[in-house]
Amino acid sequence: MVVPKDYESDVEIAWCPGCGNFGILQAVKKALVEMKLEPHRLLFVSGIGQGPKLPHYTRGNVFNGLHGRTIPAATGARLANHELTVIGIDGDGGAYGEGLNHLLAAMRRNINMTYLVHNNQVYGLTKGQASPTSDAGFITKTTPLGAILPVNPLALALASDVSFLARGFSGDVEHLASLIKAGVKHRGFALIDILQPCVSFNRQNTFKWYRDRVYRVEDEGYDPTDKAAATAKAQEWGDRIPTGIIYRQERPVYEEQIPALKKKPLVRQPINPSQFEALLDEFA
């Protein structure tokens, strides 16, 4: 039996009061408890930033690495142990800036993991520079004349044939928790872009700004298996912003296509040290 206390941490939370990250933390814990997922069966992998601090404020196995390098470590862990539930956590800078090349490769390969991106459209940890997703015209110290065209993560994901794509809002914890559960249960790479206000450095995309615009696609009879419809939804931004499962498809995961991993994960395979010696001899 998994209860909320199982995911409680003694680490003091360092986020600003009112930060959108609190809603994401609440949704993550709610989803994991409702799924009855025991902490020792879970691995959080994160990089650098305010959002990637989330694993420290819950319980489970944690690998905290470099900025924008979450997915390579998460991929290695998942391929080594298919029995491990792997959740990657990054901000919009780490995911859609420094780590974008890794994200594109993971979606194309369909690595069986979930990737939560805390998208506050600004670099919060380093005090408010424009991020890859900052709205056009957004004024910061690094963009005094206004940010240029932002990255569209949903459109990029669809172009990379992602097998699960969703967008949540940290101000709607119940809905976000349901998306996280769906993403974790999905067989394949699940990208969940989470709109998360930064109360300190982004005074434009506030909780009210989002609440006036976000809507749930499932309330409008939307079909997430229709890629053409998903492509159209990916372009919606401004007066209306879609949340929910934007696209979902079933296709083989990466480990099913690799002979060495197909039968059993690496952690379950016997190791013969002499094989390594022979391999090293080839390079002598």
CATH code of the domain in which 277 resides: 3.40.50.970
Which 3 state secondary structure label does DSSP give 237?
A: coil
Using the predicted structure, report yes or no on whether residue 45 has a pLDDT greater than 80.
Answer: yes
CA dist 198 and 128 (Å) reads 9
Residues paired with 191 in a beta bridge: 115, 165
245-256 residue pLDDT tens:
999 999 999 999
Confidence of residue 187 (pLDDT cuts 50, 70, 90): very high
Position 265 scores a pLDDT of: 84
Q: Which residues of 76-97 are buried (b: 16+ CB within 10 A; e: fewer)?
A: ebbbebbebbbbbbbbbbbbbb
Position 56 scores a pLDDT of: 95
Residues recorded for the chain: 284
Position 268 scores a pLDDT of: 85
Using the predicted structure, report yes or no on whether residue 279 has a pLDDT greater than 90.
Answer: no
Using the predicted structure, report yes or no on whether residue 220 has a pLDDT greater than 80.
Answer: yes
Give the β-pairing of 42-46 and 85-91.
parallel
E strand segments, the chain: 42-46, 61-64, 85-91, 114-119, 122-123, 129-130, 164-169, 190-195, 214-216, 241-248
94-141 residue pLDDT tens:
999 999 999 999 999 999 999 999 999 999 888 889 999 999 999 988
The total domain count for the chain is 1
137-186 residue pLDDT tens:
999 889 999 999 999 999 999 999 999 999 999 999 999 999 999 999 99
Q: What average pLDDT is seen over the chain?
A: 94
Its domain, for residue 13, covers: 4-282
Using the predicted structure, report yes or no on whether residue 209 has a pLDDT greater than 90.
Answer: yes
Q: Which residue did the predictor score with more confidence, 11 or 277?
A: 11
CA dist 26 and 174 (Å) reads 9
| For the chain, percent of residues with pLDDT exceeding 90 | 81
Position 90 scores a pLDDT of: 97
Residues paired with 242 in a beta bridge: 215
